[in-house]
Amino acid sequence: MVDNILAISDLTLRYGDQTALNGISFEVPRFEIFSIIGPTQSGKSSLLRILNRTIDFNADARVSGSVLLDGEQVLTTPHVHDLRRKVGMVAPLPVGLPLSIYDNVAFAPRLAGVSKRADLDGLVESCLRQAALWDEVKDRLDQLGTRLSGGQQQRLTIARALSHTPDLLCLDEFSIAIDPVTTMRIEEVLRELKTKLTIILVTNLIQQARRLSDRTLFLWNGSIIEQGTTEAMFSDHPANSLTYDYIRGAFG
């Protein structure tokens, strides 16, 4: 029996009369990296926005189905803020809040009521270390986070996402705005993090999904074309010929 952190069944999302996700079902096993690939507009980012309920801020969005995170029903939970602390979210373009590096990372712990300086110091350091950013910023923690380089800011947002000790870390095209060297560093970080939490990786880079993930899901026009172990998906004979074509770059 596989221990699933996330179980989604028959999830449908509509924006007005447009269907963004069409009755999809899948499970994510704990302590794995789970990739979601697919062309733009296939519903990948919307799916992540459902997971931490930021979809709520889109007035047109209608969600139905079942999303169980650690046994809790995401779509109807009354504890939205607690849910959001369980899910770490990293956006495509790094969003450094207009605060210092320290305050960026200490933001969520402070919301959760941690106020002792020593506790915060320890948390900030460990998060920045986990995101492989500590050595570069340890001498200038009070500088504005928005002044870091793009790659550093992206690692800062990862550190921030780790600061509320999520069980699930979601990254939405994290490498879109950063150089290949930094991308490889972050990928290493993710491999190490896998021992402690589950990672969902939405990516346009098919090779990134292949390098990093244990399982892959191919989403197209709001429907799942194929899902399975990354090995099987990237083999010469995936179950669906569409998968083969997409992975080989025939379209998308």
Summarize as ranges the residues that interact with other proteins (CB under 8 A).
52, 54, 57, 81-82, 84-85, 87, 89, 91, 93, 95, 97-99, 107-108, 110-112, 144, 146-147, 157, 160-161, 163-164
Number of alpha carbons in the 13 Å side-chain half-sphere of residue 162: 26
Provide the 3-class DSSP secondary structure of residue 229: strand
CB of 54 to other proteins, least distance (A): 6
CB of 53 to other proteins, least distance (A): 9
CB of 199 to other proteins, least distance (A): 16
Burial track 148-184 (b if 16+ CB lie within 10 A, e otherwise): beebbbbbbbbbbbbbbebbbbbbbbbbbebeeebbe
CB of 237 to other proteins, least distance (A): 39
Considering beta carbons, is residue 186 or 206 the nearer one to other proteins? 186
Considering beta carbons, is residue 157 or 227 the nearer one to other proteins? 157
Considering beta carbons, is residue 52 or 216 the nearer one to other proteins? 52
Considering beta carbons, is residue 61 or 242 the nearer one to other proteins? 61
Six token digits for residue 99 = 């605060």
The count of residues in the chain is: 252
CA quadruple 101, 183, 53, 61: dihedral positive or negative?
A: positive
Distance CA 11, CA 23 (A): 5
CB of 75 to other proteins, least distance (A): 17
Considering beta carbons, is residue 91 or 242 the nearer one to other proteins? 91
CB of 85 to other proteins, least distance (A): 4
Considering beta carbons, is residue 105 or 206 the nearer one to other proteins? 105
CA quadruple 38, 60, 28, 201: dihedral positive or negative?
A: positive
CB 58 within 8 Å of CB 106: no
Cα–Cα nearest to 148, from 74, 193, 97: 97
